[in-house]
Amino acid sequence: MIRRIREVAWTYVFKSARFSGHLFRFWIAFFYSKRLKNVCFIGITGSAGKTTVKDLSASILGATAECYSTPRSMNYPDGIAKILLSVKPRNKYCVLEVSGGNPGDLDRPLRLFTPTISVLTLVARDHFKAHKSLQAIAREKGKLISALPADGVAVLNIDDPLVRSIGEDCNRQVIWVGKSEGAILRLVSARSRWPKPLMLDVGYEGDIHEVRTSLYGKHLALSVISALGVGLAAGIPLTKAISAVAEVRPPEGRMEIVTNENGVTFLRDDWKAPHWSFPAPLEFMAEAEAQRKILVIGTLSDYSLSASKLYPKVARQALEVGDIVIFVGPHAPRAAKAKRDTGAENLHAFSEIRDAAIFLNSLLEPGDLVLLKGSNKADHLVRLMYHWQSPVSCWLSQCGIQDFCGDCPRLYKPMPSDAGTSAEAENTPELASIPLTGSNSERTVMVGLGNPGAEYENTPHNAGYRVLNRMAARANVSWVSYPEGLGCDVAIAGKTVSLFKPAAKMNNSGPPTLQFLIRNGAVINNCLVVHDEMDLTLGQARLKQGGGDAGHRGLKSIIAALGSHDFKRLRIGVRGANETKATSTSVLQPFAASDKQALETGIDRAIALLMDELKNSDIPVSNIAYSDQKTNNAEKSNLHKQ
């Protein structure tokens, strides 16, 4: 209770101090801005393309006079105040990127500066949850246009109906850009086919101008012509503006190309990933010329479908383009549902990014083009690229840092929680594909889940280990060490059965299980996972075909690694008779001495149930549970004789 009070008090103090700091900075910037009367401010907003327009515009304006622009993507209200304090009175231009992600976000910044030129790229579903409608998003972003003085100039996308409506009502000079008739800068054509960068043909005053860029993706043509519009609004000749954009590189994480010395090219579009933005990089990958196209997809945002429907849909779209498709993050198992619908062997899903990194490193080859599409705040997918170059140490899923990982001191700094696991993860055999089909369809593999280490031997979480240990002891066979864990073969009912105990911690059981299945050429239909089940009391055991993970993190990891729920499970009851509710720590607490007899009975019954399943594999396992009569019959099997 005292700890909770301290946490609440600290949170209150921290938020109060941060608000006071922001307010203080705002007023300092407010009074300082009075010294910037001669600076021409260019404000840029929109649901996409802001940062690229900002960088291109700064290059165009900077070619004629001193120009200051927003560093990176510091487009939030307090960021504008910070930027203004860095602007000098000698600067002729200042290019400011403004977000408008929440209602009222533009109000404070527009008290600090008055734009001479305003740009609105487009209105889409980005931040839809905050605004509730596209019209509300348009109203918020339209404030930047309304803030223009009478002699100000708006650069607007004529192809967006909501933007066009704002321009028609603004009563200011408008430089229309886009494909439609009436555009002052008209996009005639755009070409961007990897490895060639984006090239445009732009019509202006009856002439067609070729525009060369260092960007990638035809959808960025809007950003280019918007920046050229800023140049025209500032009185810069179009030919000079075209020359200024040629060498501008993509902003980090926005269709950014990174090619390393190993010949693998990463296309980073991992800053944010609203669902509506996904078709653009998908089109680029479809048209690209590459040895193999690999799509890595993280967390999507701003979608109208439920996640359970969206991710399989996106997976099917990605499979039409990519040679290999990998989903990463908490929604990855949902994407894996598309595997059952399509039978695709090139779709892979990983709940943990570390597992995805190991898998990706095992298959990359020179000439591969790898798209990273996700939300940096949620995924930090760029770690996949860094891990290919040099082993990454930080695999935190919720670090709270919004910046990219490149400058983070944690990236290569060993984390205490990684001790003893990173070496295991790196010493794994190369992976080939998800083992839905294999070369040895007769091989049955039983996977017992648990945590390696003597301190976990007598805990509920190690029930799977205990069952397999008992089976190996009765068959008088020894365990063989593999990079991914311990395995052995036993003969049961005339069949060879491979027993496997993953060497990873419970929550990372998936990748080593996948590796062992590949090693043995086993098919997923012949894989049976033995695990603890807190919903069953000690002494109970039940077989089940398929299903979700029910909160079991070991199962969750295996489902993600295999890309399928369709494998058999043997659930071992581990809840004490007097326990009414499972907790996250109870599965790691040693069994009480009073539970030993029930535990031993449950292990024996579980083995008997496995024996019966192997001999009668045509029985629908979804309804099989032990009973005293069934167990007595099964225990008369020949396991002791094997």
Average pLDDT over residues 452-475: 88
Q: Per-residue pLDDT averaged across 460-476, rounded?
A: 89
Residue 254 has pLDDT above 80, yes or no: yes
Q: Return left, alpha or beta for 325; rule: phi > 0 is left, psi -120 to 50 is alpha, else beta.
A: beta
Rg (CA), the chain: 30
For the ranges 123-132, 223-232, 416-425, the lowest mean pLDDT is seen at 416-425
172: CB partners within 8 A, 6+ apart: 145, 148, 150, 152, 153, 154
Cα distances from 549 to residues 267, 398, 447, 609, in angstroms, run 33, 22, 15, 21
Taking the C-alpha atoms of residue 115 and residue 117, their distance in angstroms, rounded to an integer, is 5
Q: What is the arrangement of strands in the sheet containing 568-575, beginning at the earlier edge strand?
A: 480-482, 485-492, 495-502, 444-448, 527-537, 568-575, 541-545
Q: Which of 32-36, 198-202, 396-400 has the lowest mean pLDDT?
A: 396-400
* Two structure tokens written together for 593: 């001495």
Question: What confidence score (pLDDT) does residue 550 get?
Answer: 80
pLDDT at 319: 94
pLDDT of 399 over the 80 cut = no
Residue 446 has pLDDT above 60, yes or no: yes
Reference 69, options 59, 30, 149, 119; nearest CA is 59
Residue of 197 and 634 predicted with greater confidence: 197
The confidence score (pLDDT) of residue 246 equals 94
Catalytic residue among 131, 387, 461, 565: 461
The set of residues, in sequence order, having a beta carbon less than 8 Å from that of 424 and lying 6+ positions away, is 483, 503, 504, 512
Q: How far apart are CA 509 and CA 452, in angstroms?
A: 11
Question: Is 461 labeled as catalytic in the residue annotation?
Answer: yes
What is the phi/psi pair of residue 408, to 5°? -80, 130
Tokens of 414: 């060993």
Q: How confident is the model at residue 586 (pLDDT cuts 50, 70, 90)?
A: low
- 599: closest CA among 453, 468, 460? 460
- 328 and 318 in contact (C-beta within 8 Å)? no
Residues 468 and 448: beta-carbon distance below 8 Å: yes
Each residue's pLDDT tens digit, 327-386: 998 888 888 888 777 777 889 888 888 888 988 998 899 999 999 999 988 899 999 999
| Beta carbons of 109 and 103 less than 8 angstroms apart | no
Banded model confidence at residue 563, pLDDT cuts 50, 70, 90: confident
State the pLDDT at residue 580: 56
In the 3-class helix/strand/coil scheme, how is 583-617 assigned residue by residue? CCCHHHCCCCHHHHHHHHHHHHHHHHHHHHHHHCC
Of the pLDDT bands very low, low, confident and very high (cuts 50, 70, 90), residue 510 is: confident
* Cis amide prior to 195 (ω within 30 degrees): yes
- Report yes or no: 100 and 83 within 8 Å, Cβ to Cβ: no
Chain centroid, CA 137 distance in Å: 25
Identify the pLDDT of residue 622: 41
| E strand spans, 368-494 | 368-373, 444-448, 480-482, 485-492
Across all residues in the chain, what is the average pLDDT?
A: 84
Q: Is the pLDDT of residue 573 over 50?
A: yes
Residue 402 confidence (pLDDT): 78
Q: Is the pTM of this model over 0.85?
A: no
Q: Which residue has 């491979």 as its token pair?
A: 498
Question: Is 511 a residue whose pLDDT tops 90?
Answer: no
Q: What is the pLDDT of residue 493?
A: 73
The predicted structure's pLDDT at residue 514: 87
